[in-house]
């Protein structure tokens, strides 16, 4: 408690000590009563056991640092300091590979995410650059005023009090703010409209994104934020369904890196980039950076191009429909006929009569009915089917949801 102020670091340090106590079969008081040589051998043995289990070098060395600190503040200093070897960590070492998806892939991921909530979360992660824990700790009250004002681009505040919901929500206790793009705001409005229909309203102290667990009552669910693991899994699942080859290497933090690339490629001033990322500016720059000119920074943010520029909104709609039929796995002849129908007409609405004649949705359902049962349902019906063992596949261009029987 005297050494650090980060709740997350305290949590990790205590967790490391707990596991070491289990390994040694001793409580903390017994550990600090050991002789230097015995304590050193025991700690080295524990650290080596983590290596044999395949833990990353970074995890091993950080764990060692926590435990040596524990011994040091309990009297193992000077001549009594423990002699334990740390593991060599190469420059730029990373055990888990990462893949940062392209803007085109992120757009496809958002449409393949399986629900209005998931789509809004993916777009929010990418266009705000918020960390996993920060996004999950947001409350509806944090964005309520600007959403109700009808703004296309809304401010998203990050503040230390968020740590009450998740200890890692405001890293380094650095308050700052970012924004959500118009695409993310539109997706968020659609999700919140569904929430209002479902629950009859949204209170300011409810999480912005709530759990969809079927194991808790509806009234409890309204105040239960999404879990860290849930967000990680839905991002991976969306990447897989969107056809991202390295979907296993896509994490929520990869979307934060994609956000940084979008800011850099837009030519945004480096100070503005660092502020929107939640970083402290070097030297005295942070003290002199003007954080109060929200509208000026909002205008700069508005010039950032997060997605491929389309000649018109109709071209974007056409691309979305083609993405959907590809994600759903339709045969090439069907996809070609959809392309031809879209190319023949100026607008999607004009092409829809011809596309409907292809009976794409019913065709796919009939084609897979025997080996892979599927249904198309409305958002309002979704929870009932999920409870019966159905799994969300994707959101169709019509706005309805394709689900598949899993049990």
**Token output for 350:** 């004009």
Would you say residue 85 lies in a domain? Answer: no
Position 368 scores a pLDDT of 46
The answer on 266 and 144 residing in a single domain is yes
Confidence band, pLDDT 50/70/90 cuts, at residue 363: very low
The answer on 174 and 295 residing in a single domain is yes
Task: Report the range of poorest mean pLDDT among 28-37, 88-97, 137-146, 332-341.
Answer: 88-97
User: Percent of the chain scored above 90 by pLDDT?
Assistant: 52
The answer on 279 and 177 residing in a single domain is yes
Would you say residue 15 lies in a domain? Answer: yes
Q: What are phi and psi of 229, to 5 degrees?
A: -65, -35
In degrees, rounded to 5, the angle at the alpha carbon of residue 384 between the alpha carbons of residues 378 and 385 is 75
The answer on 233 and 124 residing in a single domain is yes
The answer on 120 and 253 residing in a single domain is yes
The answer on 292 and 173 residing in a single domain is yes
The residue from 302, 333, 363 where one domain ends is: 302
Q: For 262-272, how does the pLDDT look when each residue is reduced to its tens digit (9 = 90+)?
A: 999 998 999 99
The answer on 226 and 123 residing in a single domain is yes
Would you say residue 387 lies in a domain? Answer: yes
Position 175 scores a pLDDT of 93
Average model confidence (pLDDT) across the chain: 85
Would you say residue 2 lies in a domain? Answer: no
The answer on 272 and 210 residing in a single domain is yes
Where do we find the tokens 């206790």? 173
Would you say residue 51 lies in a domain? Answer: yes
The answer on 285 and 330 residing in a single domain is no
Sign of CA dihedral 121, 127, 133, 135: negative
- Provide the pairing of β-strand 154-158 with 374-377: unpaired
Would you say residue 379 lies in a domain? Answer: yes
The residue from 268, 302, 336 where one domain ends is: 302
pLDDT at 6 over 80: no
Say which DSSP state 374 is in.
E
Closest by Cα among 291, 293, 265, 296 to 278: 291
Per the structure, the complete domain to which residue 349 belongs is given by 313-405
Are 170 and 134 a contacting pair, CB within 8 Å?
Answer: yes
Position 327 scores a pLDDT of 63
Would you say residue 89 lies in a domain? Answer: no
pLDDT at 365 over 50: no
Number of domains in the chain: 3
The answer on 154 and 27 residing in a single domain is no
End-to-end CA distance of the chain: 48
**In CATH, what number is assigned to the domain containing residue 167?**
1.10.443.10
Q: For 137-196, how does the pLDDT look when each residue is reduced to its tens digit (9 = 90+)?
A: 999 999 999 999 999 999 999 999 999 999 889 888 889 999 999 999 999 999 999 899
The answer on 241 and 159 residing in a single domain is yes
373 vs 221, more confident: 221
The answer on 167 and 112 residing in a single domain is yes
CA distance 361 to 357: 11
Closest by Cα among 235, 277, 297, 305 to 129: 277
CA distance 295 to 314: 30
């Amino acid at each position: 408690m005297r050494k650090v102020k980060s709740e997350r670091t305290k949590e990790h340090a205590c967790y490391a000590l707990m596991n070491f106590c289990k390994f040694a079969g001793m409580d903390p008081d017994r550990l600090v009563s050991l002789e230097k040589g015995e304590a050193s051998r025991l700690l080295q043995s524990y650290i080596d056991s983590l290596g044999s289990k395949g833990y990353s070098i970074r995890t091993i060395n950080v764990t060692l640092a926590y435990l040596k600190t524990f011994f040091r503040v309990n009297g193992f200093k000077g001549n009594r300091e423990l002699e334990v070897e740390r593991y060599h960590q190469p420059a730029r070492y990373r055990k888990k590979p990462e893949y940062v998806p392209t803007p085109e892939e992120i757009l496809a991921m958002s449409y393949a995410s399986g629900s209005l909530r998931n789509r809004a979360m993916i777009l929010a992660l990418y266009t705000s650059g918020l960390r996993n824990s920060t996004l999950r700790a947001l409350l509806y009250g944090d964005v309520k005023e600007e959403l109700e004002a009808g703004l296309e681009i809304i401010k998203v505040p990050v503040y230390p009090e968020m740590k009450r919901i998740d200890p890692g929500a405001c890293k380094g206790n650095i308050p700052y703010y970012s924004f959500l793009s118009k695409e993310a705001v539109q997706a968020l409005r659609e999700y919140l409209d569904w929430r209002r229909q479902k629950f009859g309203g949204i209170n300011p102290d409810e999480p912005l994104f709530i759990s969809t667990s079927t194991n808790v009552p509806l009234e409890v669910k309204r105040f239960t934020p999404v879990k860290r693991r849930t967000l990680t899994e839905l991002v991976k699942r969306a990447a897989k369904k969107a056809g991202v080859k390295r979907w296993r290497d896509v994490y929520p933090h990869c979307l934060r890196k994609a956000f940084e690339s979008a800011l850099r490629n837009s030519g945004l001033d480096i100070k503005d980039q660092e502020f929107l990322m939640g970083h402290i500016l070097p030297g005295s720059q942070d003290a002199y950076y003007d954080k109060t000119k929200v509208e000026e920074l909002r205008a700069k943010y508005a010039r950032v191009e997060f997605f491929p520029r389309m000649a018109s909104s109709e071209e974007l709609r056409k691309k979305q429909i083609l993405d959907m039929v590809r994600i759903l796995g339709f045969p090439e002849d069907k996809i070609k006929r959809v392309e031809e129908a879209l190319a023949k007409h100026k607008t999607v609405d004009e092409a829809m009569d011809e596309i409907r004649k292809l009976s794409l949705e019913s065709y796919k359902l009939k084609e897979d009915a025997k080996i892979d049962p599927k249904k198309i349902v409305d958002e309002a019906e979704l929870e009932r089917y999920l409870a019966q063992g159905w799994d969300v596949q994707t959101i169709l261009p019509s706005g309805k949801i394709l689900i598949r029987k899993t049990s």
